[in-house]
Copies of this chain bind each other. A is one copy, B any other.
Amino acid sequence: MNVLIVHAHHEPQSFNAAMKDLALAELRAQGHAVELSDLYDMGWNPVASGADFGARANPDYLVYALEQRENYKRRTLAPDIQAELDKLLRADFIIFNFPVYWFSMPAIMKGWIDRVLISGVCYGGMRFYDQGGLAGKKAMLAITIGGRPHMLVDGGIHGDLNDMLRPILRGTLAYTGMAVLPPFVAHHVPYIGQDERVSILEQYRMHLRSIDTLKPMQFASMAQFDDKLYPLTDGSHI
């Protein structure tokens, strides 16, 4: 497989960075071709703006998704976006490796999503969920979080972690058609010792060795909806 790891942590010595390094080494040892987008190291610009487009279809009023489509066709997307889009399009499996900030991605990675997952290629029109432009690819989150497991389940103080991650898992990765593998979650990371860290890294290695057998998460399918996106049944299947 071609693998892309998108990584965002400001401390190269962090446990989060160690997870990224382990995935790089393990997946290469498995024989995969692995590319890395280390967003802090690259100085990635996360701000979507008119500067992202070399030739504006409408120079007087910025409709970002429209300019994405037009500038993709003309090959006039900003070079940093085009380079990341090329990596994304040649990847079969994408790992997003990040520390959870506010139950979501750090802004620098959110800006990778905002700028690289362009309309007209990754989604658009009726091409989303299982009809999305990135169908055929797999995606997975590899995340570190301060909370302990019992805080991140139904009935826990924060509720189920996957419910907090819904805009990413369902609203972004599944939305663009990717098969979403269950996240690998390292809990309580700022508070644990060396032994526990080594143990979690070993668990992550095992997780990466089981990618082919992990069952993707289930989300909506376009076949359940009509052409105005009204549900064909009572929707209770979702």
Contact = CB atoms under 8 A, between A and B. Distances in A.
Q: How many copies does the complex hold?
A: 2
A113 B106 contact: no
B46 A154 contact: no
Given A159-B238, A229-B151, A235-B155, A48 B10 contact: yes
A48 B9 CA distance: 9
A10 to B, nearest CB: 5
B11 A104 contact: no
Interface string A122-165: 00000001000000000000000000101100111111000111
A24 interface: no
Contacts of A198: none
Interface residues of A, number: 58
A103 B172 contact: yes
A117 interface: yes
A40 interface: yes
Interface stretch (A27-35, A56-64, A89-97): A56-64
A230 B151 CA distance: 7
A123 B5 CA distance: 31
A167 B170 contact: no
A105 interface: yes
A210 interface: no
A190 interface: yes
Contact of A49 (B40, B61, B168): B40
Nearest to A107: B111
Contacts of A65: 190
Contacts of A229: 148, 150-151, 156-157
Nearest to A151: B229
10 contacts: A10-B50, A46-B46, A47-B107, A102-B113, A106-B110, A107-B113, A107-B114, A108-B111, A156-B229, A158-B220
